[in-house]
Chain A
Amino acid sequence: MSRVLLVEDDPAVREGARLALRRQGHEVAAAETGEDGLAQLRSFQPDVMVLDLMLPGIGGLEVCRRVRADSQLPIIMMTARGDDVDIVVGLETGADDYVVKPVQARVLDARIRAVLRRVEAGPSPEGAAPAAETHGELRIDRAALTVTCGGAAVPLAPSELRLLLTLSAAPGQVFSRQQLLEAVWEHSYHGDARLVDACVKRLRTKMGEPPRQPRYIQTVRGFGYRFHSPR
């Protein structure tokens, strides 16, 4: 039972999605415009936002940006395939995942549940009680799901947090983009590697990584990413 805020301008799609999501056991609030969606954030207090990218007035990207300005609310973008640029920009703006319209209700439901699972506790290191790990200036608390860098809290969206937890669980190990897609986004099909790249980019920005010489999340050319723990 989760609270879904659906922002979609087409009445038929909006009504259909509302029906279907309610049928899947979600509590749904629907907004017709980006402004309306932003207004309902406070009143409805959703667990997740399903956001159409093509909105009249302020577009989906702008809504995404405004939400991310002060909130780590999970956001799933609804796009049409072919709006490739929008997808990348949307992901870099802070969306956690995206679905391509036309989408079936069970697919949308699966994405919502997957993104919500990311804010639950991750796998703890074997045997040891979950404790805060320190990697250089970075402090990751797997139980409390908090991250600090140099003493300051780093607010992370669900995908960013899950990605960091996955990578840092095995420092030095190289994860391919496909592996990360499965571990973080639970994409069983060929997900889009751009999800991973955009998320890594956001994560590095939030952790204050120097652009050319990332300290913690390193790119392994042709293979993927690995977490480096400075001792």
Chain B
Amino acid sequence: MRHRLLPGGLRIRLVAAFALVAALAALSTGALTFREARTGILQQSQDTVIRLVRNRIDTLAWGLTFPPTQQDLAALAANVAEADPTRQWRVMATYRGLNATSAPQDPFTELTPALRTAATTHTPTVFQRVTVAGRSDLVVGMPITFASADHKRAATGLTVFVVVPQTAEQAYVQALVSAAERATLPALVLAVLLALLAARGVLRPVRDLRQATRRIAEGRLDTRLAVQGSDELADLSHTFNETAAALEESVAELRRMETKARRFAADVSHELRTPLAAMSVVTDILDEDAAGLDPDTAAAVRLISQETANLARLVEDLMEISRFDAGAAALHLDDIDLAESVQRTLIARGWQNHVDTRLPEPAALRGRVDPRRLDVVVANLIANALRHGAPPVRLSLHADPRPARDGAHGTERWAVIEVQDTGPGIPENVLPHIFDRFYKSDTARTRTQGSGLGLAITAENVHLHGGTIRAANHPHGGAQFIVELPLPELREEERS
């Protein structure tokens, strides 16, 4: 499992992307809508004000006397102010230094000098939006002109300024802003939800794929994904299934070939066994009578007898290896005295005077092992030492308590068997292959007495017991084989 920089990985990234897109969409939509709406609202209010003011002035202008007095201006301002149905307008009429406002003592602070100048120098209406202390006002400046006979407008110098509070418009705009704000939050929440949904849709197939891959890695090659829909993920699942099927087919084919090869080896050995059985049973007759034959015939007869025995052993070893390969090798455990068992192995083969043994006292080291397989292990190692090493061959056996494996408490008993010779040792290039089948240490491939399977069978027998075997060269010369066997506690089973 690789460490991911982002917790949650793909899900977090999807949610972030969705939220970002939603926020951007909501904000940009809000901003554009706001701008357009605000412009529209203000434009409309402005047009309305100008129309009203113009209409009022048009109707009042006829009654104006020139040059107007302060009272005329005040009356004009009051009159214009009355044009507003909401009575919120403040009006100021100016004429060459004279000012009059609709509301008495109105300082008319909203009127900027720039607007005043613009209103007196331009003939068309001017207006400006002014914000004072958080309040937005529209200030309109309208010079009063006369139409002359040549349709040219002449300024009279009389200008009317109107301050229209924009509270309603401000409220509209404020409502727009808050609406945009209010819309953004649900949009974000919705986006996150959608992102989670999308992530789930993507992640579930990905998770299934990961689990399936792991199952395949564990060797369950019949693992397949359920393909839903027809998107890219479904394609990926489909591809995975095809790959798994192809892999399963290849592995099955390999296994079939392997099984075939193994069965062939086993069958060949089996077929060889019957003629060998017939030959083996009569070799004693040949050996007995060889002495009475002429020397050449005697030698030939002894050769046949000897090679029959070798061939029988080779076939027997091949059968044994075939059984290990087929997983048909069974352990027949018995509770035995290991030292006694080792002694018997040596005595049965007449080696007791060729091997220097260091064994525990009788009954000091008992354990459940397969006596026949232990015999094979010890016999093969000693035969190997006598054949390839040089006497004296030393064999030692001792108990070795160890901490229990599998996290269990207490100790486990192990038996350690060491076989050491004083020969030239094992060449370094041979050591890794010493337990290989038919491995010949010299390139000439001369046949030794053994079947070439002895050490391989020895290793298999040790492994069958759950033990280990290793070969090394002793610092003081000679080869050394170390076998370590676990001695399980007596199982509670009735042997009756």
Contacts and interface: CB of A to CB of B under 8 A. Distances in A.
Contacts of B494: 219
B494 to A, nearest CB: 7
Contacts of A15: 278
Interface in B346-398: 347-348, 366, 368, 371-372, 374-375
A177 B283 CA distance: 33
Q: From A80, A102, A106, A193, name the one whose CB has the most chain B CB atoms within 10 angstroms.
A: A102
B444 interface: no
Contacts of B366: 222
A194 B323 CA distance: 19
A101 interface: yes
A20 B496 contact: no
Interface string A52-86: 00000000000000000000000000001110100
Contacts of A104: 280-281, 283-284, 309
A176 B495 contact: no
Interface residues of A, number: 39
A190 B495 contact: no
A194 B344 contact: no
Nearest to A54: B274
A228 B492 CA distance: 21
Contacts of B309: 104
Q: Determine which residue in A20, A106, A189, A219 has the highest number of CB atoms from chain B within 10 A of its CB, and name it.
A: A189
A193 B277 CA distance: 25
Given A81-B316, A178-B336, A178-B340, A103 B280 contact: yes
B485 to A, nearest CB: 15
A192 B332 contact: yes
A81 B492 CA distance: 29
Given A189-B348, A204-B496, A17 B281 contact: yes
B349 to A, nearest CB: 9
B282 interface: yes
Contacts of B285: 19-20, 23, 105
Contacts of A190: 341, 344-345, 348, 371-372, 374-375
B312 interface: yes
Contact of B274 (A13, A19, A81): A13
Contact of A201 (B273, B371, B375, B496): B496
A206 to B, nearest CB: 14
A14 to B, nearest CB: 8
A104 B305 CA distance: 11
A188 interface: yes
Contacts of B374: 190
Among B277, B335, B340, B366, residue most surrounded by chain A Cβ atoms (within 10 Å): B277
A16 interface: yes
A211 interface: yes
B375 A10 contact: no
A16 B282 contact: yes
A8 to B, nearest CB: 9
Contacts of B495: 197, 219, 221
A105 B332 contact: no
A30 to B, nearest CB: 13
A184 interface: no
Contacts of B323: 82
A204 B496 CA distance: 9
Contacts, number: 115
B332 A13 contact: no
B336 A13 contact: no
Interface residues of B, number: 46
Interface in B325-350: 328, 330, 332, 334-337, 340-341, 344-345, 347-348
Nearest to B366: A222
B312 A200 contact: no
Contacts of B334: 177-178, 193
B279 interface: yes
A101 B273 contact: yes
Interface string A182-210: 00000011101110010011001000000
A221 B366 CA distance: 13
A211 B279 CA distance: 45
Contact of B332 (A10, A178, A194): A194
Nearest to B333: A193
Contact of A102 (B276, B284, B335, B337): B276
B332 A193 contact: yes
B276 A211 contact: no
B348 A20 contact: no
A105 B281 contact: yes
Given A15-B278, A20-B285, A105-B284, A193 B496 contact: no
B344 A108 contact: no
B273 A102 contact: yes
A23 B276 CA distance: 19
Given A190-B344, A193-B334, A101 B284 contact: no
B350 to A, nearest CB: 11
B130 interface: no
B275 interface: yes
Interface in A9-68: 10, 12-13, 15-17, 19-20, 23
A200 B496 contact: yes
A177 B369 CA distance: 13
B1 interface: no
- Give 6 closest A-B pairs by Cβ, nearest first: A12-B278, A102-B280, A102-B277, A193-B334, A16-B281, A190-B375
Given A102-B273, A222-B490, 17 more contacts: A10-B274, A19-B281, A19-B285, A23-B285, A81-B320, A84-B332, A102-B277, A104-B280, A105-B283, A105-B285, A108-B281, A178-B336, A193-B332, A194-B332, A200-B496, A211-B496, A219-B494
Interface of B: 270, 273-285, 288, 309, 312, 315-316, 319-320, 323, 328, 330, 332, 334-337, 340-341, 344-345, 347-348, 366, 368, 371-372, 374-375, 490, 492, 494-496
Interface of A: 10, 12-13, 15-17, 19-20, 23, 80-82, 84, 101-106, 108, 176-178, 188-190, 192-194, 197, 200-201, 204, 211, 214, 219, 221-223
14 contacts: A13-B274, A17-B281, A23-B285, A80-B319, A102-B276, A104-B280, A178-B336, A178-B341, A178-B344, A189-B375, A192-B332, A201-B496, A222-B368, A223-B335
